[in-house]
Amino acid sequence: MSRTFGLVGLPNAGKSTIFNALTAAGARVEPYPFSTLQAQKGVAPVPDPRLDRLHALFPEKKKVPTTIEVVDIAGLVEGASRGEGLGNQFLADIRAVEAILHVVRCFEDQDVAHPMGEIDVRRDIEIVETELLLKDLETLEGRKERLAKLARLGEKEAKEEFSLLERLVEGIKRGIPLRSQNLSPEEKEKLKGLSPLTLKPVLFVANVGDEGENKYSEEVAKIAQERGAGCVVIRGRLEMELSELPEEERREFLREYGLEGLAIERLVREAYRLLSVITFYTFVGPEVRAWTIPAGTKAPDAGAVIHTDFRDRFVLAEIMRLEDLEAFRSEKALREAGKIVRAGRDYVVQDGDVIHFIVA
């Protein structure tokens, strides 16, 4: 199951550049606003040191990481929520993603036009946020109108939803995104059908030039902190160029510069964290593989991610720890040492579990 992320930001912030770095898929990158006429989709593997360690124990098997889906969303400008630029299309594209990567331009370059003339990080961020808020305002007001009559007739559920919407609309009018309005899980469930934009989790991506962090990226980090959101600083263009190199050359480059890895890998990991999902691993069969599940998933439902049958045919799950596998080198030795936990239907899968499902 792939999770989807949308790259959102002003024109020329570097969305397509980062999209390319993430997916090495070659979306069009040009120094003109609106070069991206349609949202492009790509898939990025999730770099995972634990999967690498497990694979090292079974090098003959194929390594299959989990993936995220990334959407390069077409140009947002001031007024998009009123239909300016590519307004409505872009907003529909955001509706379809689970979380937002808000790309903020933090590089100076005379040859790359800034839609507002020059960089002003806070203003640039607020333009994007305002458009999303305005769109939600429209969506929620529309729903309120449709509910008003039922609510007046005294229909209980309609009344409840109506007053919820009234409260949320008030918040949005004061500039508070839905994600910061302390919604209960039940309230979120009620809004699900509307898929409001400001309820989606956000990660800020400060796109800096080749020199790395600067005063702009520092400000993005500060603003992210004010919002209770994360921030990843990324040398978008450099990383795009690196991601296009063959793996060996890339490693060489990273070694030369004393870098541990690409920032794009950190971006993927942080993005993944936004969704409160966890990863478990399997190595039975020809693949060593990572799987994504929501935190709190029970063993039979985790099995169903591998094969829908596994839920009904579930007998038990043998749970191994990666550290133990590394120490004992084989499943057999682990078994003899009594290091395999046999878990039943109620077992809640933990992040990092290595699992062998026994099915009927």
Ligand X SMILES: Nc1nc2c(ncn2[C@@H]2O[C@H](COP(=O)(O)OP(=O)(O)O)[C@@H](O)[C@H]2O)c(=O)[nH]1
Binding region for ligand X (CB under 6 A):
9, 11-17, 29, 31, 35-36, 107, 109, 112, 207, 209, 236-237
Closest distance of CB 130 from Mg ion, Å? 20
**Residue 136: Cβ within 10 Å count:** 25
Residue of the chain from 16, 40, 66, 67 that contacts Mg ion (CB under 5 A): 16
346, 298 contact by CB (below 8 A): yes
Q: What are the distances in angstroms from CA 56 to CA 9, 327, 353, 356?
A: 39, 13, 17, 18
Helices 236-243 and 15-23, axial angle in degrees (round to 10): 30
Nearer to ligand X, 15 or 55 (CB): 15
* Residue 279 touches which of ligand X, Mg ion, none (Cβ within 5-8 Å per kind): none
Closest distance of CB 253 from Mg ion, Å? 25
Residue 44, both tokens: 């990025």
Alpha helices in the chain (DSSP H): 15-23, 49-57, 87-95, 121-152, 156-173, 185-191, 215-227, 236-243, 247-256, 263-274, 299-306, 309-313, 322-328, 331-336
Closest distance of CB 16 from Mg ion, Å? 3
Helix (H, G, I), strand (E, B) or coil at 323: helix
Nearer to Mg ion, 207 or 279 (CB): 207
Does 36 engage in binding with Mg ion (CB under 5 A)?
yes
Nearer to ligand X, 29 or 165 (CB): 29
Query: Near Mg ion by CB under 5 A, which window of 31-39, 95-103, 131-139, 235-243?
Result: 31-39
Residue 23, both tokens: 């997916």
Distance CA 347, CA 356 (A): 13
Closest distance of CB 112 from ligand X, Å? 4
221, 203 contact by CB (below 8 A): no
Q: What is the DSSP letter of 60?
A: T
* Residue 177 touches which of Mg ion, ligand X, none (Cβ within 5-8 Å per kind): none
Closest distance of CB 233 from Mg ion, Å? 20
**Residue 337: Cβ within 10 Å count:** 11
- Binding-residue pattern over the window 256 to 295 for Mg ion, x denoting contact by CB under 5 A: ----------------------------------------
Rg (CA), the chain: 23
Query: Near Mg ion by CB under 5 A, which window of 35-43, 169-177, 193-201, 214-222?
Result: 35-43
Closest distance of CB 37 from Mg ion, Å? 9
Nearest in space to 77 (alpha carbons), one of 67, 69, 89, 66: 89
Nearer to Mg ion, 36 or 297 (CB): 36
Nearer to Mg ion, 15 or 55 (CB): 15
* Residue 107 touches which of Mg ion, ligand X, none (Cβ within 5-8 Å per kind): ligand X
Closest distance of CB 132 from ligand X, Å? 16
Helix (H, G, I), strand (E, B) or coil at 58: coil
For Mg ion, the nearest residue by Cβ is 16
Closest distance of CB 100 from ligand X, Å? 14
- Give the binding site for Mg ion (CB under 5 A): 15-16, 36
